[in-house]
Amino acid sequence: MSGSHTILQDDSMLSRIDRLVFKMESLLTLTGGIVIFLLVFLATANVLGRWIFSWPISGYIDWVEQAMAFFAFLGIAFTQREGGHIRMDMIVGHIHGRSLWVTELISTILMLFITLVLIYGSFLHFLRAFQIGDSSLDINLPTWPAKLVVPFALTVLALRLVLQIWGYARAVKDGGDHPVAVPLIESAADVAAAEADSVMGSYSSDSERNDS
């Protein structure tokens, strides 16, 4: 399952690279969010145009199909960095210390291997679409830009996994419970405390505004 995670930082090279890559991941995630936002306007215009003027947007389905690759994949590395992907941690959640970091290291290496295979396959898929001039059925929209997004986003994910492998390997070597640049699972008590602080902070801000 997915849970709440904390990413620790320090002045090490690993942490500096982590923060730099995170800026790129955040930008890509923002781009995916903007695509979703634009799709909302497109859907609204399509519905209103069909209803009021009997004039729907030409190729609406084609545009939606191409946009799906952007918002589905651009945020995948960001989610990996934040530990937001769904995972089964019933066993891992009870492991601590070096045993936990060894387990996480092995699983991350396996994830990297699978990701590299997907990068290779998706790039070939993009290259084939580019070479044959593949396009959508309705308005002949080129499909290669959307297909290029997949290997690009997976490459960013692979970079994130390499950084996490570095972080877990360092944790295995040094020991301890607080490695940097990797998602640390928070306990239920920590999550509840953070949510309480967030709610109380919002309540305090609202009270100050009302008093003023």
Q: How far is CA 179 from CA 14, 83, 148, 183, in A?
A: 11, 14, 34, 9
- Band of the pLDDT at 191, cuts 50, 70, 90? low
Nearest to 59 by CA among 41, 44, 46, 40: 46
**Model confidence over 96-149: pLDDT tens digits?**
889 999 999 999 999 999 999 999 999 999 999 999 999 998 899 999 999 999
| Helix or strand (DSSP H, E) at 185 | strand 183-185
Q: Is residue 74 part of a domain?
A: yes
Look at the chain and report how many structural domains it folds into.
Answer: 1
pTM of the entire predicted model: 0.85
**Model confidence over 1-31: pLDDT tens digits?**
454 568 888 889 999 999 999 999 999 999 9
Rounded to 10°, the helix 144-174/13-52 angle is: 150
Q: Is residue 193 part of a domain?
A: yes
DSSP three-state, residue 175: coil
Q: What are phi and psi of 191, to 5 degrees?
A: -65, -45
Classify residue 179 as exposed, middle or buried by CB count within 10 Å of its CB (0-12, 13-18, 19+): buried
Q: Is residue 206 part of a domain?
A: no
Q: Is residue 18 part of a domain?
A: yes
pLDDT of residue 95: 83
**Model confidence over 55-89: pLDDT tens digits?**
989 999 999 999 999 999 999 999 999 988 877 77
Supply the range of the domain harboring residue 20.
Answer: 5-199
Q: Evaluate if residue 210 carries a pLDDT over 60.
A: no
d(CA 178, CA 9): 10
